[in-house]
Structure 1
Amino acid sequence: MDHMIFEVGTALLLVAIASVLAGKLKFSIIPFLIVLGMIVGPHAPTIGILDFKFIESQEIIDFLGRIGVLFLLFYLGLEFSVQKLIKSGRNIVFGGSIYVLLNFTLGLAYGFLIDFPLYETLIIAGMLSVSSTAIVAKVLVDLRRTGNSETELILGMILFDDIFLAVFLSVMSGLLLGGATSIGGVLVSVGISLAYMLLFFVIARKGTPILNKLLNITSNEIFIIVVFSALFFIAGFSEKLHVAEAIGALLFGLALSETEHSKRIEHLVVPFRDFFGAIFFFSFGLSIDPLTLGSAIWLALGAVVLTMVGNVTAGMISGRRAGLSHKASTNIGLTIMARGEFTIVVANLGIAAGLMPVLKPFSALYVLILAILGPLLTKESKHVFKALNKIFRWSTPQEKVKNTDN
């Protein structure tokens, strides 16, 4: 234990270096941090006083990573609200439904095709169905597409996907962590999860005045202590009810999103989200032995191909239904293709429940490939559209395109 602080400091220094490198390359830090964690760890060499195995500090790094998940989902809950859902509109509901149903169905078909058991198949279907909010938002900003005609639909579909994630994790945590073996027991566990989630929706809609009064705290120091203490208590209490702790964090963020203090909380939580979130991706990579990835490479590549087909198809159906051009519709499918933090959260639920070990290398490869490929395809969307247009002949050169992109 004497060297634990030094080990943690070394790990954080490596995380900082990888983050700076990703920033210089103007790319998402997620794949950099996962690869970094995979390179070091128990199989890494010791160079002088620098021990990159992180054996003594493994537990503390894992715990810091768990905190990162809580902050990521807490912030996500703050970002969307019940009111936003009501105002989303038919196009967003239609687009989000098509996106989730198509990808989830492809995931189910893939899981059964490779002869995975039911629970593993459901986890894979969930992994294929959730995009990376962080990467999508970063891509839209970096490529200056926030004003594009398709961007509102993209953000709406991501919002719908986030809601699906909350429901999916609630149901699966009831199934996997509830300890139920009979059909009745499973239904009770799932019912508790859904009722718990519904309770927070009610609080978000009806309890706002009370929350406003409780959080009317002048001192930022006391304010952040109160909010974060409640966050960790609710996450821990959720786990006691066999609801994933991350979902407890998301639901608490949802409840606070309707209050007049939501922007203040967002401002204060962002540094913690970014810092601990980075450690989460690093710790995830740290737990993966690169030598085991070979066993999942073909599984991951198959899932990547299905995701590409499913996303472009969903984007085209949703965009055209909303009256957007074929080009803008192609942009939708490419932009929401990236997978990242939430895919790993879904995979971790299966891993924590003791499902097949291959889920860990499979999820790592799947996220790595699409965290890199997604932003690249989005950046080159003009060329992707031209290539697809030659095949499907959606539009002629004279057809007016309703959006422009960079």
Structure 2
Amino acid sequence: MEDHLPRLITDLGLILCVGAVTTLIFKRINQPLVLGYIIAGFLVGPHFDYIPSVTEEHNVEIWAKIGVIFLLFSLGLEFSFKKLLNVGGSASITAIVEIVCIVTVGYFVGQLMNWSTMDSIFLGGLLASSSTTIIIRAFEELGLKRKKFANVVFGILIVEDIVVILLMVMLSTMAVSQQFNGGEMINSFIKLGFFLAVWFIGGIFIIPSFLRSIKKYLDDETLLIISIALCLAMVYIADSAGFSIELGAFVMGSILAETVYAEKIEHNFKSVKDLFATIFFISIGMMIDPISMYEHKWAILIITLVTIFGKLIFTSIGAIISGQPLKQSVQVGMSMAQIGEFAFIVAGLGLSLGVTSDFLFPVAVGVSAITTFTTPYLIKSSEPVYNFLVKILPAKFVKGIDTYSSDTQHIQDENKWNKIIKQTITTIFVNGIIIIAVTLIIKNTLLFLLTDWFSYFGSSLVCVILTIIICIPFIWAIIGNRPKREIIREFWDESNYNRAPIIGIIIIRILLVLAAVIFIYNQFFSSKLASIILAVGLIVFMYLLSKHFDQFYNYIQKKFIYNLNEREILTQKAAQKKIDDKFQYTWDNTHISDMIVPQNANFIGVKLGDLDWRTKFHINIAYIKRGDRILQMPNSESVLYPFDKIGIIGNDEQIQRFEKYLQIIGETPPENNQVKNTDNITLDKVVVPQDFCVLEHKSVGWVKDTSGGIVVSIERDGAILYNPDRNVAIELGDYLTIVADKKNLKSFIQLYHLK
């Protein structure tokens, strides 16, 4: 009997051969490879008869499902929750305004074209994201990647990625339940938020520690296998919890993105991702029906216009609302007017769930193809469009936008009350999530197992005791992990009106501890009186052993924070080592030694020339390191701030004498008449009005002398000049970033009518 090659192998060979050819062609014509893969899918699909077609489409669908899992896992590896937090309000507000508006418009456009409800909803969903690949390629070709508006665009793309992932989960839930009840949707979002928090907190606590423990075994092969195993494990967990497999893959990728192995995993995984992503995009290309596309040509045209003008307008409006200048808002809006890879994933999701019509995917492909070609031309046209808008819009309107932009970009100091509220909410949220998760896990797993061996009462009693033992550090943290006493005492003494909120927060914390213990007890027993007695007794017990609980919780907290920031910590150490290696040279007995400026030093804010340390101590300052910035060979105009790292040049005796001087300064309590209060030093951004000429042609040195501060940077016509020379002239419309005493700067702004 003759052996035949399995159809799976022949189909895979056909897919990859055609995919390789289209890849070469699209690279040659400098177009996105995704479109090439989709065309390859069309060529091997059932709607094209001139070359052999795939015979076992079901097998290809399974490969494609693996492809979308690995594609989302890879996106998660490039993503970071900390990166999302650091994106800033501007990009976040812009993205949210754009997504809400375009999804809403997409839905109603579908309804106007007499599409079904689910088709209209998925149409809105596939319009929600722009193409990162297309935008980055266009920016590189046009040389715009370093422009200020490009940073805002990249921030918006980050926010879009996470929002579209959540949108896919919501669409999956709606598709399965076929329910559009508002209450059901709220419950779904609460459930989603809870599971995301549990997975992320648990993952960050466990996975980096696990990887560190097997560090010596982690070669490239082992790391690849472990990362894929973790990805598929989270996919299974997400599916079991009722969420999409795409969400599980993305979450595990985002957890591994916070580890020190993120870049290595991403590098090792790239080939696997590329292979399966190619199969995925080819598989959805097989769904293209040219006849259907021709039948829906007007729908493609309408949705293309909605995409271009809708995303352009809504993104620009969102950027203006977030505080961006008009020119920058127009540039951002005209960069985002396309749909990309996520549109195919959303459209493919609807088809795989069987809730959307067959024509939706070909429509998405047609719109994507057109907007891919229009994107570079729209970006090029952004400046002429801005100039046109300035001509036709009322002058008051343009001036109002600029004023609003300058006002919203002022940097605000975080006051003590915000710090207290922020820490309180974070503590309650994180520990509350952990308590609920541990309780539900024990209830739904251990209780079920113990009932086979003990009575229900005995099993419940064991589970209650075990749950409280595990949760007691987190229960204590709700009431015990509070802001430092110095902050609370200072806030308490500042005003009598501050005392009621502090007392209120303490009472709320106590009530939440009671609620947490009662919640745990009521998951296994139903006696309210017993739960209250247990809660009160537990609070007394925790108070008596508070010192031990504080130590244990601090250990857990430090471990979590270290795991979360391990990449940054190791990167910072490596960078510091380079700096130390660079500056740790010696000759004779003269060398450079690092020292830290004390927090309460009486020379904070004083110019180095006025301090005259060269005469007093016979030392020189080689550099000042402030955060990630290094000022080498500072001049007499430079000033020092708390915790600056300074490189002191001198011999052993000179350096020892100066170090002793710093120690005495650091240990001496500050006196109001000696120390320049650093709380009064602020950094703010002001704009020189276009219609006010007093500052025109004045120099940076004049601004320094008049405001008593330092001009950190000048932003002019989209370009930024850092640490400008004293002789640089000020021009109308300049944005000046100034560090100065709050009162002096406020007087300066009011005197010269700055914004």
The bucket for the TM-score relative to the shorter chain is 0.7 to 0.9
Structure with higher RCO (Cα < 8 A, 6+ apart): 1
Number of matched pairs:
394
Equivalent residue number for residue 402 of structure 1:
718
Bigger share in helix = 1
Q: 1:312 to 1:16 in 2, by over 3 A?
A: same
Structure-2 separation of matches of 1:211 and 1:278: 32
Equivalent residue number for residue 280 of structure 1:
280
Q: 1:403 to 1:16 in 2, by over 3 A?
A: farther
Q: 1:44 to 1:113 in 2, by over 3 A?
A: closer
Structure-2 separation of matches of 1:208 and 1:237: 15
Deviations 1:28-78 (A, max 9, x none): 1122221232233223336xxxx521113x333333322221222112112
TM-superposed CA distance for 1:14, in Å, is 1.1
Structure-2 separation of matches of 1:71 and 1:261: 17
CA contact 2:42–2:286 (8 Å) conserved in 1? yes
TM-superposed CA distance for 1:325, in Å, is 5.5
CA contact 1:325–1:401 (8 Å) conserved in 2? no
CA contact 2:64–2:279 (8 Å) conserved in 1? yes
Structure 2 residue runs of 5 or longer lacking an equivalent are 396-689, 691-715, 721-755
- 1:350 and 2:350 aligned: yes
After the TM superposition, which residues 7-406 of structure 1 pair with which residues of structure 2 at under 5 Å, given as runs?
Answer: 7-45=11-49, 52-56=52-56, 58-177=57-176, 191-203=190-202, 206-207=205-206, 209-213=208-212, 216=215, 217-320=217-320, 326-357=326-357, 358-374=359-375, 376-378=376-378, 381-383=379-381, 385-386=383-384, 389-390=387-388, 393=391, 401-402=717-718
CA contact 2:312–2:336 (8 Å) conserved in 1? no
Q: 1:215 to 1:367 in 2, by over 3 A?
A: farther
Structure 1 residue runs of 5 or longer lacking an equivalent are none
Where 2:313 maps in the other structure, the secondary structure is helix
Q: 1:184 to 1:236 in 2, by over 3 A?
A: same
Which letter does structure 1 place at the counterpart of 2:59?
I
Structure-1 separation of matches of 2:373 and 2:240: 37
Equivalent residue number for residue 6 of structure 1:
10
TM-superposed CA distance for 1:285, in Å, is 0.8
Q: 1:143 to 1:239 in 2, by over 3 A?
A: farther
Structure-2 separation of matches of 1:181 and 1:150: 38
TM norm structure 1 = 0.86
CA contact 2:91–2:319 (8 Å) conserved in 1? no
Structure-2 separation of matches of 1:260 and 1:45: 50
TM-superposed CA distance for 1:387, in Å, is 5.2
Q: 1:232 to 1:146 in 2, by over 3 A?
A: same
Structure-1 separation of matches of 2:210 and 2:116: 44
Deviations 1:269-328 (A, max 9, x none): 222222322222111111222222223322222121111112211342344456655554
TM-superposed CA distance for 1:384, in Å, is 5.4
CA contact 1:177–1:242 (8 Å) conserved in 2? no
Structure-2 separation of matches of 1:179 and 1:143: 46
Structure-2 separation of matches of 1:189 and 1:370: 34
Which letter does structure 2 place at the counterpart of 1:137?
I
Where 1:129 maps in the other structure, the secondary structure is coil
CA contact 2:118–2:356 (8 Å) conserved in 1? no
Q: 1:294 to 1:372 in 2, by over 3 A?
A: same
Q: 1:195 to 1:323 in 2, by over 3 A?
A: closer
Which letter does structure 2 place at the counterpart of 1:157?
I
CA contact 1:130–1:165 (8 Å) conserved in 2? yes
Q: What is the Cα-based RMSD across aligned positions, in Å?
A: 3.0
TM norm structure 2 = 0.48
CA contact 2:38–2:284 (8 Å) conserved in 1? yes
Deviations 1:247-287 (A, max 9, x none): 11111111111111111111112222223222221111112
Structure-1 separation of matches of 2:97 and 2:184: 31
Q: 1:212 to 1:336 in 2, by over 3 A?
A: farther
TM-superposed CA distance for 1:158, in Å, is 0.5
TM-superposed CA distance for 1:388, in Å, is 6.5
CA contact 2:95–2:315 (8 Å) conserved in 1? no
Structure-1 separation of matches of 2:47 and 2:108: 36
CA contact 1:80–1:254 (8 Å) conserved in 2? yes
TM-superposed CA distance for 1:180, in Å, is 6.9
> How many percent of aligned residue pairs carry the same amino acid?
23
Q: 1:184 to 1:337 in 2, by over 3 A?
A: closer
Q: 1:149 to 1:61 in 2, by over 3 A?
A: same
CA contact 2:130–2:336 (8 Å) conserved in 1? yes
Q: 1:182 to 1:387 in 2, by over 3 A?
A: closer
Structure-1 separation of matches of 2:236 and 2:301: 36
